[in-house]
Structure 1
Amino acid sequence: MLSVSAEAEAQLLAQLSAPVAQPQQIPAAPVPVPQAGPHSSSSFSRHVSSSGRHGLRLNSCRRSLEARCPLRAGLARCQLSSSPKLEVSTSLRTVLVQLEHTASVHASRLKERLHCGLARLTSFTPQAEGVLRLPVGREVLRDWEFGPEIGCGASCVTRLVMSRATGQAAACKTINKSGIFRSAALKAAMLGVQRELAIMQHTSGHPHVVQLRGVYEDARALHLVMDWCAGGCLESLVSTKLPDGKLGEAAAAAVAQAVLEVLAHVHGRGVVHRDIKPGNVLLCSLNEDAPGELTTDNVKVTDFGISLPYTPGRPLTELAGTLDYMAPEVLQRCYGPAADVWSTGVMLHELLCGQLPFSGDTLEQMAQCIQKTEIDLSGPAWSGVSHDAKQLVALCLQKDPRDRPSARQLLDTFADWLELGSGF
């Protein structure tokens, strides 16, 4: 906001109070302009001129000017006073209109810079910042042949596709732009897509992370082509194909090793996944005759949609994830990579004994249970589980994140037990 000194305001009012015999012959010399305060941009002065070409815009801007510029409102009141000699000159009106226009331009530029800053904070590579600015018209159909629909969401649909060059199958997630544009959270939605792509690019190359094969954009949609995991998700396997709702110890070890290796990889690159759970663990293939038999090579982690970059000493504070797998420190809004280790412990608890470690009839009760209830690994459901498996779960579910080992430490400490999932 411009700060108008008392001296400058008096100078303007003095000029306005001067008798004007023939208003139509007012000289074109510029009217003295109130000087901006010490914190205002010097570019304001460059936009102020004596030209009267903006005078026609006065009527359309009048209400906005009166609401935003007290000096303008005061001058308008002078026009309605009993003295017919007080008139606002065209040049002064031009100055006021131009000042407001300049302030609006600066506000828009500041908002744009803030959004660009947010995009840079959530991007890791120069290429990632260009996502969502791809040339319109790049055809996904040129490289991929589309097959049946395999999933859908509020503004996206996932289809099975096949590479025209290699014949390799993949999954294409198509995000409807109009669905995003109609959203009240437009900017958050676009930044969320950009962030997910940037993190997927940043964490690419690991054998247990679902890889991004390509990004395409056309006039109506954004297409993300990723690895196709024909075995579906771990949650579906446990809930529909295993009668007792749990895995054998070797299969659980396979899942644990793959997930911990992914966490060690992404944590080392400064990323917190924030939503580790069976629904985000995919299986490359599935033996229908023995669905409970899994190996480490068969497991991949997906869905970096709510992942965030992390800097040591600067904890994350946003409440995010799935409550059943949420760490106590996430509920307290002060957390880091250790929250992913907790989620892994909850998932292993569920896979090994067939039930979640914490429960509640309401969200509040569930949150209280997560923060206060100690786990019990001595019940009948744990009778056939090895000591190493129980110890791994117990360490992952330490209430204090400082007592929780890192993913890399768990891989080193329980290497022998995790080897059960290698299939050899």
Structure 2
Amino acid sequence: MSETLKNKYQVCEEIGRGRFGTISRVFCPITQASFACKSIDKRLLTDPTDRECLENEPKIMTLLSPHSNIVQIHDMFESEDTLQLILELCQPYTLYDQILQPGLSESKAASYVQQITSGLAHCHRFGIVHRDIKPDNIFFDFRGKLKIGDFGSATWLGELGTVDGLVGTPYYVAPEVVMGRAYNEKADVWSAGVVLYVMLAGVPPFYGETAEEIFEAVLRGNLRFPTRIFRSVSAEAKDLLRKMICRDVSKRLSAEQVLRHPWILNGGETTSMD
């Protein structure tokens, strides 16, 4: 830990671990507030893309802060070997832990998707693509509000309004990303649609035993609603899923359009069925 960080914060217990470092709780005696410290070992960043993302992460988070559905950055310390980000402290579980619990209602799922896409719409207004939307990267603050976190894969859209690179998590990645084409911010909407599907079904829409098999299923893109699982899911929810998990990017909804979908506007409260 750098002396600069130790001068301002007390380092407490480790609360998480990532590819390139650890996350610890830190306490600021001046403000009497606790934060999360994401400590990244720069020596582990041998890939130029990873190093570029590392440099982008604090810049992107600073640009996006504050927003009620995005983890806020408060401070940053950097030495030759380490980068330390002082972030808003969230609860010790993620949306992934929450959706493992059976019986998630449509109204709760609609609330969660509304919050996720509100955060995404904010990112997209700044020309930022998150590129790794999945339940593990969606956190809860201590009031129960959802926060998008882990901007380690995020980047800015280029001059043409696109980016490239196979980035993301197999179950949640959009087909245009898998194909190696230039893609835009709607790749995040596909991922958020898969998150919604998992919330309602308890299983992902595309799966396989290996990353390659999952990618093949994503590329086939046969979105199905098995009756056994979706019997009690409303037509409006399925309509939104079809429009988010849509192979044709031009027809896929934007984050702003998701927020205006009737199922979201009605808070998932609906009685109609297919």
Give the alignment's TM-score, normalised by structure 2: 0.89
Does the CA contact (< 8 Å) of 1:139 and 1:218 recur in 2? no
Q: Which has the higher strand share?
A: 2
Over 3 Å counting, the alpha-carbon distance change for 1:301 and 1:225 in structure 2 is same
**How big is the shift at 1:387?**
2.1
Answer whether contact 1:137 1:219 (CA < 8 A) is retained.
Answer: no
1-side partners of 2:163 and 2:93: how far apart? 31
For residues 288-299 of structure 1, what are the structure 2 equivalents within 5 Å?
Answer: 298-299=145-146
Higher helix share: 1
Question: Does 1:148 pair with 2:5?
Answer: no
Q: Within the alignment, does 1:203 sit opposite 2:64 as a pair?
A: yes
Q: Which residue of 1 aligns with 2:137?
A: 280
Take 2:223 and 2:163, find their aligned partners in 1: how far apart are those partners? Answer: 26
User: Identity rate of aligned residues, in percent?
Assistant: 30
1:392 aligned partner, one-letter code: L
Taking a change above 3 Å as real, the CA distance of residues 154 and 401 of structure 1, as seen in their structure-2 partners, is closer
Residue 86 of structure 2 is matched in structure 1 by 225
Query: What corresponds to 1:372 in structure 2?
Result: 220
Q: Do structure 1's residue 403 and structure 2's residue 251 form an aligned pair?
A: yes
The change in CA–CA distance for 1:358 and 1:219 in structure 2 (over 3 A counts) is: closer
The correspondence for 2:187, drawn from 339, 342, 352, is 339
Q: CA deviation at 1:379?
A: 1.2
How far residue 189 of structure 1 moved from its aligned partner, in angstroms, is 4.2
- Structure 2 distance, partners of 1:146, 1:306, is 26
Instruction: Identify which of structures 1 and 2 has the higher relative contact order when contacts are C-alpha pairs closer than 8 Å and 6+ apart.
Output: 2
Displacement of 1:154 = 4.4
CA distance in 2, matches of 1:154, 1:406: 31
How far has the Cα of 1:312 moved from its partner? 6.4
Task: Indicate the residue corresponding to 1:73 in structure 2.
Answer: none
The answer to whether structure 1 residue 416 and structure 2 residue 273 are counterparts is: no
- Name the CA distance, whole Å, in 1 between partners of 2:74 and 2:216: 42
Q: 1:373/1:191 Cα in 2 relative to 1: closer, same or farther (>3 Å)?
A: closer
Matches within 5 A, 1:124-163: 139-163=4-28
Residue in structure 2 matching 1:300, options 132, 135, 147: 147
Alignment-mate amino acid for residue 212 of structure 2: E
CA deviation profile, 1:311-370 (whole Å, cap 9, x unmatched):
463432211100100111111222111111110111100001111101123433322221
What is the CA-CA distance between 1:285 and the residue it aligns to? 3.6
Count of residues in correspondence between the two structures: 267
Q: Is structure 2 residue 205 aligned with structure 1 residue 357?
A: yes
Partner of 1:402: helix, strand, or coil?
coil
CA contact (8 A) 2:71 2:149 kept: yes
Runs of 4+ in 1 over 4 A off after TM superposition: none
CA distance in 2, matches of 1:175, 1:346: 29
Aligned counterparts of 1:368 and 1:190: Cα–Cα separation in 2:
29
> Cα deviations across residues 115-145 of structure 1 (Å, max 9, x unaligned)?
xxxxxxxxxxxxxxxxxxxxx9661122212
Q: CA RMSD in A?
A: 2.2
Q: Distance in 1 between matches of 2:167 and 2:80?
A: 32
CA deviations 1:158-188 (Å, max 9, x no partner) are: 11112211211210112234x34xx543x54
Alpha carbons of structure 1 residues 209 and 319: separation in structure 2 relative to 1, 3 Å: same
Which aligned pairs between 1:21-420 and structure 2 lie closer than 5 A? Answer: 139-177=4-42, 179-180=43-44, 184-185=46-47, 187-218=48-79, 221-239=82-100, 242=101, 244=102, 247-285=104-142, 298-311=145-158, 313-334=160-181, 335-377=183-225, 379-414=227-262, 415-418=264-267
Separation in 2, partners of 1:138, 1:207: 31
Counterpart code for 1:238: I
Q: Which has the larger radius of gyration?
A: 1
What residue identity is the alignment partner of 2:113? A
Q: Is the 8 A contact 1:283 1:300 kept in 2?
A: yes
Shift of 1:219: 6.0
TM-score by length of 1: 0.59
What is the distance in 1 between the residues matched to 2:268 and 2:32?
Answer: 34
Instruction: Write the distance in 2 (CA, Å) between the matches of 1:324 and 1:263.
Output: 19
Distance 1:153 1:392 in 2: 33
Distance 1:373 1:340 in 2: 16
Structure 2 spans left out of the alignment, 5+ residues: 270-274
**What is the DSSP-based 3-state SS (H/G/I as helix, E as strand, rest coil) of the residue aligned with 1:222?**
strand
